[in-house]
Amino acid sequence: MQSGSRESKHVIRSLAVLLFAICVQAVQGQGLVFPERVHDFGDVRSENSEAVNMFLMINQTGGKVVIRSVEASCGCTVPKWTKDTLVQGDTAFIEVRFNPKDQIGRFQKSLTVYTSDDEVNGLEIRGIVLPPRKEKKPQNPGEPYIPLFEKYYVYDDKGVEDLDFGFKEFMDDLINVIQTVGTAEIQIESSASHVPTDAFPSNQALAESRAAGLKERIELKLKATGISLSKVKFREPQIAVQGPEYKNDFETNKKVYEKYQYVKAEVFIP
């Protein structure tokens, strides 16, 4: 019995050693590990100086590695990395700074990491750059004022959502005005480009739906806050279809057309 027991223990130990060796070999064969390869900044204000993210890198190559270079797809994205030699198990960060200036709308920037072992890895940052906050100055000293709300639509974008950063700011300030003054008037302006739409009968109908959608969203938020809609007057919406005529060049001139894809709201003190 004792001899059999010793043999069993030996087999178990041998299996444990074998499993450990397999695990080590598997880990060493993973190469460079990036727990996060795509980072979404969400909403970024264009007046902000920079948006920063740190990509963690783990050396699981089984040898020594040096990051030779990190190349970004745009001059608005600047990477910074360690020049130290990384041995097996070492970690390092690749710092990425994104400058949102003149980048209004959805963005997606790629980075390529080149290392001494000839391995090439891709990283990505993405998000939406919001236009600067525009404020309506008081007509008379002591009058409250609030920012102009703007949402520019990139294609495939949906309507205004409660979690839109700019919309939340707008509603917080609108509620403050109503509670301070007792009433407010809202002017909504919406626009569509001349790029054909399949979801609506016409581009005019698309622009009208954007205005109606924003009005409904404002009303729902006011009701949820306990504010009577009798305290708010909506002026006749300003609807437009504008911008250059469409020349079947959507893919190459997307940014041009997106300038005319928007909905805005401004508050006036009666």
Fold of 133-268: 60s Ribosomal Protein L30; Chain: A; (3.30.1330)
The 10 Å Cβ neighbour count of residue 237 is 19
The burial class, CB within 10 Å (0-12 / 13-18 / 19+), for 8 is exposed
What is the mean predicted confidence (pLDDT) over 110-130?
Answer: 92
pLDDT surpassing 50 at residue 141: no
pLDDT surpassing 80 at residue 104: no
Instruction: Name the residue type at position 245.
Output: E
What was the pLDDT predicted at 136?
Answer: 54
What was the pLDDT predicted at 46?
Answer: 78
pLDDT surpassing 50 at residue 5: no
Answer yes or no: CATH 3.40.50.720 is held by domain 32-129: no
CA angle, 147 as apex, 145 and 152 as ends, to 5°? 160
DSSP assignment of 127-162, as one string?
A: EEEEPPPEE---SSTT----EEEEEEPPTT--S--T
- Do 77 and 98 touch, CB atoms closer than 8 A? yes
What was the pLDDT predicted at 267?
Answer: 85
pLDDT surpassing 50 at residue 7: no
* Eight-state DSSP code of residue 103: -
Grade residue 252 by pLDDT with cuts at 50, 70 and 90: confident
Mean pLDDT of the chain: 82
Grade residue 164 by pLDDT with cuts at 50, 70 and 90: low
Grade residue 179 by pLDDT with cuts at 50, 70 and 90: confident
Is it true that 32-129 and 133-268 share their CATH fold? Answer: no
- Do 238 and 168 touch, CB atoms closer than 8 A? no
What was the pLDDT predicted at 263?
Answer: 92
What was the pLDDT predicted at 114?
Answer: 96
Question: From CA 3, how far away is CA 5, in angstroms rounded?
Answer: 5
What is the mean predicted confidence (pLDDT) over 133-152?
Answer: 61
Q: Which residue has the higher pLDDT, 67 or 46?
A: 67
What was the pLDDT predicted at 147?
Answer: 61
pLDDT surpassing 90 at residue 110: yes
- Dig out the tokens for 39 from the structure: 């980072």
Residue ranges of the domains in the chain?
Answer: 32-129, 133-268
- Do 268 and 184 touch, CB atoms closer than 8 A? yes
pLDDT surpassing 60 at residue 120: yes
pLDDT tens per residue across span 205-246: 999 999 999 999 999 999 999 999 999 999 999 999 999 999
Q: Which residue has the higher pLDDT, 70 or 182?
A: 70
Alpha carbon dihedral 224, 161, 262, 222, in 10-degree steps, equals 0
Looking at the DSSP assignment, which residues form a beta bridge with residue 127?
A: 107
DSSP assignment of 8-48, as one string?
A: HHHHHHHHHHHHHHHHHHHHHTTEEE-S-SEEEEEEEETTS
Alpha helices (H) along 79-202: 165-181
Question: From CA 40, how far away is CA 43, in angstroms rounded?
Answer: 9
